[in-house]
């Protein structure tokens, strides 16, 4: 087993960390540009495993995507007729759940596969919905094949999106190119991560697509409709990834230090922005400067927290790690859907924190975390980038934590190790 020795500090960190672009926005922007009525330029494109898999897949289907010679984060996207291809999804939910609808618009077979861990991720919801809309698909999980005919009828469809908001976004992004558009009705428990659907809708509207929504913010009631029509080419500038920022800002809270993130957007659809209010509840102070620098200053001791993370489940590993360092008992609720992410994140977090001497209990929809002294040990990541960053956060204040497969952070943040070590080196 190859491990990385997570750097630990015995003084507060004091750093400014410049984060690359948002994965969620990048992959949505790439799909919309690929389906648009003309060429687009995407600036600030995140270049990571997940986004490179999206680029490779779209190129394989016929789209021309050309990075700038001197800056690979600037890419020019020129749509073209889509054709059959092989798509490697890796572990990227946005690739395996967003691209089947694009594949249905191709002429020819589009074969999907991915990492071994990806073959257990739930996909039947979006694939069955596409079948109901007229697509021919072999299989209900990876590997599967979309037998594209160059068009998709579309229309009305009912589905249960309680396992992932990506099922809804994956249909909405391509629906303007369906002959009859789409009308989606959610029927089931509340949809998690509703802000990600709101992000999709905002980006569709920016591209001139007519979208209506009667969904409530809780995700308990949801219906969405997209009218057929062109998708306007839009030159997009990608915001910094606020979910990736969470672990760095949490480092300030964990060490009683200070971490700033430049270019923090004044308004955003990214759910990761909620880390700010969570850190404030745990005792941190937050300052926003006029030039867009957001700075978190940590407290002497972290407060425990009782929080519903249903809409921001991606923040759970960071919050759970902080809760393990806090005084008292924390309850993290509304996140049963995390059992279907890159790994079962609830079991993974409880197992790994307890391995280091923590006190974590799984509940039906979350975790109960009792702050306790932690000790050195190996932290397994389960090929999950958020597990890797959570373990690194604990390692910052617990000497001797070894992170197995830290390279999994390349999924969304290829330079994580160097950035983390630089931040740790700021502690005086």
Name the residue with tokens 């087993």. Answer: 1
Residue 150 annotated in ligand binding: no
274, 314, 352, 407: the catalytic one is 314
The count of C-alpha atoms lying within 13 angstroms of the C-alpha of 52, restricted to the half-sphere facing its C-beta, is 11
Q: How far apart are CA 223 and CA 208, in angstroms?
A: 20
Residue 280: active-site member = no
Give the helix ranges, DSSP H, for 5-158: 23-34, 49-60, 93-104, 124-132
> What's phi and psi for 409, nearest 5 deg?
-65, -15
For 51, 126, 164, 180, 370, the CA distances from 131, given in Å and listed in that order, are: 27, 9, 18, 15, 46
Contacts of 369 (CB under 8 A, 6+ apart): 320, 323, 324, 326, 329, 330, 331, 332, 353, 358, 359, 360
Q: How far apart are CA 85 and CA 95, in angstroms?
A: 14
Residue 277 annotated in ligand binding: no
Residue 281 annotated in ligand binding: no
Residue 345 annotated in ligand binding: yes
List, in sequence order, every beta strand (DSSP E) within 219-366: 223-226, 236-237, 258-261, 285-288, 294-297, 306-308, 329-333, 359-362
Q: Cis ω on the peptide bond leading into residue 193 (within 30° of 0)?
A: no
Name the residue with tokens 């941190």. Answer: 284
Residue 341 annotated in ligand binding: yes
Contacts of 106 (CB under 8 A, 6+ apart): 61, 62, 82, 83, 84, 85, 146, 148, 150
Residue 166 annotated in ligand binding: yes
Q: What is the Cα Rg of the chain in Å?
A: 21
Residue 164 annotated in ligand binding: yes
Residue 314 annotated in ligand binding: yes
Mind giving me the DSSP string for 371-392?
------EEE--TT-HHHHHHHH
Residue 83 annotated in ligand binding: no
Known binding-site residues for 3-phosphoshikimate equal 23-24, 28, 164-166, 193, 314, 341
Known binding-site residues for phosphoenolpyruvate equal 23, 93, 121, 166, 345, 386, 411
Known binding-site residues equal 23-24, 28, 93, 121, 164-166, 193, 314, 341, 345, 386, 411
What are the catalytic residues?
314
């Amino acid at each position: 087993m190859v491990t990385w020795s997570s750097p630990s500090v015995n003084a507060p960190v004091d750093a400014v960390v410049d984060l690359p672009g948002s994965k969620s926005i990048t992959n949505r922007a790439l799909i919309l540009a690929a389906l648009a009525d003309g060429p687009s330029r995407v600036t600030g494109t995140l270049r990571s495993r997940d986004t490179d898999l999206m680029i490779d897949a779209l190129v394989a289907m016929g789209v021309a995507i050309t990075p700038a010679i001197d800056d690979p984060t600037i890419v020019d996207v020129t749509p073209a007729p889509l054709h059959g291809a092989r798509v490697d999804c890796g572990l990227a939910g946005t690739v395996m759940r967003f691209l089947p609808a694009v594949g249905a618009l191709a002429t020819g077979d589009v074969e999907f596969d991915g990492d071994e861990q990806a073959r257990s991720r739930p996909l039947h919801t979006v694939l069955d919905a596409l079948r109901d809309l007229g697509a021919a698909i072999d299989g209900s999980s990876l590997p599967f094949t979309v037998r594209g005919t160059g068009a998709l009828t579309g229309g009305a469809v009912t589905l249960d999106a309680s396992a992932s908001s990506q099922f809804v976004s994956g249909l909405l992004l391509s629906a303007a190119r369906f002959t009859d558009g789409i009308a989606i009705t959610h029927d089931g428990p509340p949809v998690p991560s509703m802000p990600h659907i709101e992000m999709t809708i905002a980006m569709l509207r920016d591209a001139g697509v007519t979208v209506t929504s009667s969904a409530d913010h809780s995700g308990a009631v949801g219906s969405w409709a997209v009218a057929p029509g062109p998708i306007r080419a839009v030159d997009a500038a990608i915001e910094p990834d606020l979910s990736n920022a969470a672990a760095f800002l949490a480092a300030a809270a964990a060490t009683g230090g200070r971490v700033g993130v430049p270019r923090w957007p004044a308004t955003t659809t990214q759910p990761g922005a909620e880390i700010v209010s969570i850190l404030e509840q745990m005792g941190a102070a937050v300052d926003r400067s006029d030039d867009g620098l957001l700075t978190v200053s940590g407290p002497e001791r972290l407060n425990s927290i009782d929080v519903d993370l249903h809409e921001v489940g991606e923040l759970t590993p960071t919050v759970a790690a902080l809760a393990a360092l806090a005084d008292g008992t924390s309850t993290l609720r509304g996140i049963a859907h995390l059992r279907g992410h890159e790994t079962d994140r609830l079991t993974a977090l409880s197992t790994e924190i307890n391995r280091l001497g923590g006190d974590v209990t799984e509940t039906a929809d979350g975790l109960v975390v009792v702050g306790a002294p932690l000790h050195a040990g190996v932290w397994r990541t389960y090929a999950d980038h958020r597990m890797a960053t959570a373990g690194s956060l604990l390692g910052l204040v617990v000497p001797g934590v070894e992170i197995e497969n830290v390279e999994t952070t390349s999924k969304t943040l290829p330079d994580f190790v160097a950035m983390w070590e630089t931040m740790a080196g700021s502690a005086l």
